[in-house]
Amino acid sequence: YAGEKTELIIGDENLIREFTTLNPGTAGGRGKTIIGDRNLFMAYTHVAHDCIVGSDCVLANNATLGGHVELGDYVNIGGLTPLHQFVKVGSGCMIGGGSVLVQDLPPYCLAEGNRAYIRGLNKHRMRKLFSREEIDEISHIYKFLFSRNAPIRELAQAQLESNPSHTIRYICEFILSSTRGIPFRGANNG
């Protein structure tokens, strides 16, 4: 833009289709946009400045990432779906087509709607990544976090104190680090 040093870093084996735009970082951001490996960017997708896209993600036609968005690995974003700037999406998530995501989406969730909210877990992806026992553990923690009348941050912190597995730790730390809130329908979204 003004001669500053910025980068667009693209990993290996990505498929980038027609009319896709991938923007470099900015001096006001991290200075880099980083794309992992084996992603599919279908036609007319857009990745704005300073984004981080993990590996093995699929962005369907016209999916749009605002600036500073972060996607974990194995994220699927349906067509015609914008993600607001600074949104973070955990690994293994799926966002339905025609949705609008304006809050952080914890790992392994399925979200949909305009404004998107969590509809359940992305069991399809989870079956490819985890054993039956691990899926049951993840399902149990989400029921615990989203069906209580206590603030979700307090529940996540309590889980961290119980020395959980790596996956449960990732989920709880994601929730605790959220700056945009978690998109679910319930009284404990604090």
User: In whole angstroms, what is the distance from residue 6 CA to residue 28 CA?
Assistant: 10
* Catalytic-labelled residue, pool 36, 46, 50, 66: 50
Which residue ranges form the domains of the chain, and what is each CATH number? Answer: 7-122 (2.160.10.10), 125-177 (1.20.1180.10)
User: In whole angstroms, what is the distance from residue 28 CA to residue 8 CA?
Assistant: 15
* Catalytic-labelled residue, pool 25, 36, 46, 49: 49
The answer to whether residue 50 is catalytic is yes
CB 171 within 8 A of CB 178: no
The answer to whether residue 140 is catalytic is no
* Catalytic-labelled residue, pool 36, 54, 66, 67: 67
Global pTM value: 0.95
Residue pLDDT tens, the chain, 190 long: 678 899 999 999 999 999 999 999 999 999 999 999 999 999 999 999 999 999 999 999 999 999 999 999 999 999 999 999 999 999 999 999 999 999 999 999 999 999 999 999 999 999 999 999 999 999 999 999 998 788 999 999 999 999 999 999 999 999 999 999 999 876 444 4
3-state secondary structure of 63: coil
The answer to whether residue 166 is catalytic is no
